[in-house]
Amino acid sequence: MAAANGKQWVMLVAGSKTWDNYRHQADVCHAYQIVHQNGIPDDQIVVMMYDDIANNDDNPCPGNIINKPDGPNVYPGVPKDYTGKEVTPENFLAALQGDRSAVTKKNPKVIRSGRNDTIFIYLSDHGCPGQFCFPEKTLRLHADDLIKTIKKMARDNKFAKMVIYMESCYSGSMFDQLPGDIRVYAVTASGAKEESHACNVDCGRNTYLADEFSALWMSHIEANDLNRATFRDQFSYLQENMKESYSCQFGDKTIGECPISVFLRNTPQAVQTRTKAQKLVLTDLTNNHEVPFKILRHRIDREPNYVKKQDLIRDLDALHQNKAEMERKVKSVRERFFPGVVQDLSGGGLRSAIDLLALKTVAEHFRSTCFDWHKEEFHYDLFYMQDIARLLERGVKAEHIMEAMTEVFSESASA
């Protein structure tokens, strides 16, 4: 249970939109069903998701979202606290702090937590070094802003303990600088230099239903007595069962000794029994940056109409071309302006010494000044942001990196 007279607060965030990103909203809907069935009241749960999946034109089962093959519909009852353009990093941080005045929404639901309360946060989407994505490509949650907010909440006694689970590529980079003395524990789907993985392709829906990390932690929750199982037990389970990426933990690891029920109450016995009887099988494990390519190839293979098939082939060719153009430009920045550090870029990921504010500044310049990729369907820039981040890590000044990017991309625009 929470501290004396404390409440258990839960915040669930899907940071993506579009059918190809089905899995992120499915993850969050499933997480809601878990905490709801465990008895946490809706007025202590805040859900943020774009809500364009259940009734999407591509959904062969309108009103239905599943998170595993032949699984139950996890959409019914999910609160519509923040949807569409309300799903922003600014609203997330404001709602987390209980700051209703800072939320761009009338009568917003927020986390009204106090010193005796626990807070469990789960976020699922794409990411890159020091960034977690939100539906609009122009908006990103930066590690610098997240860590500053958490520290302020700790100073303001906004919680007794906080646990954060993050499903995204490079999610470890969001918590490298999470202090170990502010009662906050974070678990991520991947390390600071690696990608996370989607899983379980549904041929009828032509999309991925879930993510490896999320499917595993939620299955563990549903299969166990949470009065006995601790977060450390669950972390060990993740390390043993994740095949493609490496779950990491940060912050106050003593919270790992807490029974999970301290934050999420207990799973009903009937759910535990049913989940244990259903062996969890994860198929089609796919690097998240390959997901759009694989979905398009799958559509091409299954499309019987010749004209439509050719259109899809052109879409795939354009996707490859845009990716190659992004790679060419970033390579030009690296090799043309910083040849002395290029040879060193292959070693290691981000270190905790990196300046998070500088990373945020360069990332915003990379996104807004050099590219207009927010008009594209996919996050082309995410994979290549790791190279830009490593330049910072190796001691290159932020202003020098931004000057180099501006010159390279100005040349491309005028060519």
Q: Can you list the domains of the chain with their CATH numbers?
A: 8-286 (3.40.50.1460), 303-414 (1.10.132.130)
Judge whether residue 336 has pLDDT over 90.
no
Question: What is the rounded distance in angstroms from the CA atom of residue 15 to the CA atom of residue 21?
Answer: 10
Contacts of 187 (CB under 8 A, 6+ apart): 163, 164, 165, 166, 217, 231, 234, 235, 238, 247, 248, 249, 250
Cα end-to-end distance, the chain, whole Å: 63
Q: What is the pTM of this model?
A: 0.92
Provide the mean pLDDT of the chain: 90
Distance CA 40, CA 81 (A): 16
Q: What is the pLDDT of residue 326?
A: 78
126 belongs to the catalytic site: yes
Query: By C-alpha distance, which of 317, 314, 408, 411 is closest to 365?
Result: 408
Average pLDDT of 234-256?
96
User: CA-to-CA distance for 121 and 79, rounded, in angstroms?
Assistant: 16
* Token code pair at residue 186: 């974070």
Dist CA 258 CA 73 (whole Å): 31
H or E, element range at 375: none
Residue 31, token pair as written in the block: 């997480």
Q: What is the pLDDT of residues 301-329, one digit of tens each?
A: 999 999 999 999 999 998 888 888 777 88
Query: How far, in Å, are 16, 63, 65, 91, 95 from residue 51 at the CA level?
Result: 10, 11, 11, 16, 18
d(CA 231, CA 120): 12
Across 66-70, 288-292, 339-343, least confident range: 339-343
Of 24, 29, 30, 126, the catalytic one is 126
What does the pLDDT average to over 14-37?
Answer: 97
β-sheet bridge partners, residue 251 = 185
What are the φ/ψ torsions at residue 142 (nearest 5 degrees)? Answer: -95, 145
169 a catalytic residue: yes
CB 392 within 8 A of CB 359: yes
Q: 172-230 pLDDT, tens per residue?
A: 999 999 999 999 999 999 998 899 999 999 999 999 999 999 999 999 999 999 999 99
Contact 151, 179 (CB under 8 A): yes
Q: Is the dihedral of CA 380, 85, 11, 161 positive or negative?
A: positive
Please say if the pLDDT value at position 50 is more than 50: yes
- Among the options 29, 128, 169, 370, which is catalytic? 169
CA 308/CA 372 separation, integer angstroms: 28
335: nearest Cα among 327, 369, 356: 327
Q: Rounded CA gap, 373 and 131, in Å?
A: 16
